Amino acid sequence: MEASTPDTAARPPRPDLRAEVELTVDALAFGGKGVARLDGYVLFVTGAIPGDRVRAVVTKRKRQYGEARALEVLEPSPDRIAPVADHPGAPWQVLPYERQLEIKTEQVEDALRRLGRLDGFALEPIVPAEQPWRYRNKAEFSFGADEDGTLHLGFHPPGRWDLVAPMDACLLISERADAARRAVLEWARAQGLQALDRRRNREPHPGLRLRNLVVREGRRTGQLQVRLVTGPAPDDALDVESLVAAVDCEGLFWTRTDQLAETTAGGETTLLAGVPALEEELCGLTFAISPEAFFQTNTEMAERLYAVAGEYAALTGFERVYDLFCGIGTIGLSLAPRAGEVWGVEIVEEAVADAINSARANDVRNARFFAGDVRTSMRELVERAGRPDVIVVDPPRAGLSQKIVRRLIEAAPKRIVYVSCNPTTLAPNAAQLVEAGYALRRVRPVDMFPQTPHIECVAVLDRAA
């Protein structure tokens, strides 16, 4: 422990880094870590749930709080149940599903009231998932190797970006999609290929180095899209013929990238075999999805999510709707039959091309989509299209920047429907809009990702009369 000084006397003592401690977990923080206190010092504990007594190692320490990783459950919580998946992609599987729903609802309310200092809204019951397992239509796996060099293809353990946990079966995707994952792994082992050494990522790697595998499935169409992500390599470094023979899918791609970050976005993507876009059906519409385009990861629950957005938008057939961060246009096209016109904006040009093609394929004639940065293109959109009656916004996890919030306020829609994948960023955004004269009316969580701490919700804000 560090010595007490006049500057530190008022603060709880901090444990040493890498110290092993015994903790009782009191609650779950947003993001899924347990909250415990050691002599008054707050520790966020990976791998523990409320009620657990654990032995943990301190992995990070700051002035106000630290982080720890559970090494052993000494006394399990009364809520704890046995896990069924052998991988770290389902960290909340040790909680009964009903308890997961309760916690997610509590965390949405806590974010809005404590972070946003909001009140007077109706927090409606969470929409439970239709399938608690094998619900994902897309999964991103990482290649890695253990100490004896055996190649694996799975997920990173919590807090270990440099390691990949062995995986027998992934219970978050369909059996066919998981069979494709295993086929690629077996092919790579037979080829004698190696994974990127993430601890030496900045150094040049000789030969073909495997980074990731992205598997995406059309849940309604049955189509499968597989994308192999590697480091930079010449065309002849990959035995395309053997890979095509090994994998049963409708579209097979190869992405080469020299990015340092652990991401599957960017790089140069080549179609090796099959069709260039996966087809999927959603809300009675057909969508073509290119490899890097955003599409909600749970098809069945995306329909429930968009139904809530449509309910909150309360369209009567005459409104001008802006669909911001529109992706491939799924929300805007689902609203188009009840709107006067829809204008979609998305920064990824390939996604906009998908949206335009999907509008044409579904004979939707009152929707237009444009490539642009919402932050810089809003004023131009208002000048071109006219002021919106309703804005639907579906931002990334970081939420809306202050500049984008100001542009929404300038556009002065009567109603804003905010589709959020992060209540801790929804809360301050909603507070800014409330301060500008909007009222937060209703919020409804939707469980898109069972067995994980991720939370989606829809909020509606109306402009004061």
277 with 405, same domain? no
- Asked if residue 24 lies in contact with residue 53, where contact means CB atoms within 8 angstroms, the answer is yes
Q: What is the pLDDT along the chain (465 residues), one digit of tens a residue?
A: 444 454 545 677 888 899 999 999 999 988 889 999 998 999 999 999 999 999 999 999 898 899 999 999 999 999 999 999 988 889 999 999 999 999 999 999 999 999 999 999 999 999 999 999 999 999 999 999 888 889 999 998 877 777 888 899 999 999 999 999 999 999 999 999 998 887 766 556 667 889 999 999 999 999 999 999 998 888 889 999 999 999 999 999 999 988 777 777 778 999 999 999 999 999 999 988 888 888 889 999 999 999 999 999 999 999 999 999 999 999 999 999 999 999 999 998 888 998 999 999 999 999 999 999 999 999 999 999 999 999 999 999 899 999 999 999 999 999 999 999 999 999 999 999 999 999 999 999 999 999 999 999 999 999 986
Question: 86 in helix, strand or coil?
Answer: coil
57 with 166, same domain? no
Residue 168: burial class (beta carbons within 10 Å; 0-12, 13-18, 19+)? exposed
Which single residue is written with the structure tokens 């992706």?
327
User: 48: domain range?
Assistant: 20-80
Rounded distance between C-alpha atoms, residue 172 and residue 47, angstroms: 19
Which single residue is written with the structure tokens 């999964």?
139
307 with 449, same domain? yes
Cβ atoms < 10 Å from Cβ of 313: 23
Distance of CA 143 to the CA centre of its chain: 20
154 with 242, same domain? yes
356 with 413, same domain? yes
Q: Domains in the chain: how many in total? A: 3
Please list the residues that pair with 285 across neighbouring strands.
282
Residues 203-215 pLDDT 10s? 566 678 899 999 9
Rounded distance between C-alpha atoms, residue 344 and residue 368, angstroms: 6
32 with 54, same domain? yes
Active-site residues: which are they?
421
- Asked if residue 453 lies in contact with residue 32, where contact means CB atoms within 8 angstroms, the answer is yes
- Asked if residue 323 lies in contact with residue 345, where contact means CB atoms within 8 angstroms, the answer is yes
Say how many residues make up the chain: 465
Has residue 181 been placed in a domain? yes
Domain containing residue 251: CATH number: 2.40.50.1070
Rounded distance between C-alpha atoms, residue 291 and residue 56, angstroms: 40
Residue 371: both structure tokens together? 């490539």
Has residue 6 been placed in a domain? no
Beta strands in 122-265 (DSSP E): 122-123, 138-145, 151-154, 194-195, 209-217, 224-230, 251-256
306 with 455, same domain? yes
